[in-house]
Amino acid sequence: MIEALKWFASISGMIAALMIAWDHSRRITGWGFVIFVAASIAWIASSLIEGEAPLAVQNGVLLMINLFGVYRYLIRKKETKA
């Protein structure tokens, strides 16, 4: 089970990174951040199960950054230039 969780975290992180790097649209970038949120949660869970505190802390911080990305790209309206 733990291996499946780690593989999910790893693969979803790679997919999210590709979606964000592609920067096709705000919507796709926003969904990339949603996938990053899922990957961060999976990494936190797997690292806590295995007693790897540094990895859990790192992904806790990344989770907050990714939640900001979700807000920025999917929730907040795009600012118009004057």
pLDDT tens-digit map of 69-82:
999 999 988 776 76
Does pTM top 0.85 for this prediction? yes
* Ramachandran region, residue 77 (left: φ > 0; alpha: ψ -120 to 50; beta: rest): beta
Lowest mean pLDDT of 22-26, 33-37, 49-53, name the range: 22-26
- Listed by start position, the domains of the chain span 2-75
Tokens 């990174």 correspond to 17
Q: Which of 4, 69, 78, 72 shows the shortest CA–CA distance to 34?
A: 69
Asked if residue 24 lies in contact with residue 50, where contact means CB atoms within 8 angstroms, the answer is: no
d(CA 63, CA 69): 10
What percentage of residues in the chain have a pLDDT greater than 90?
89
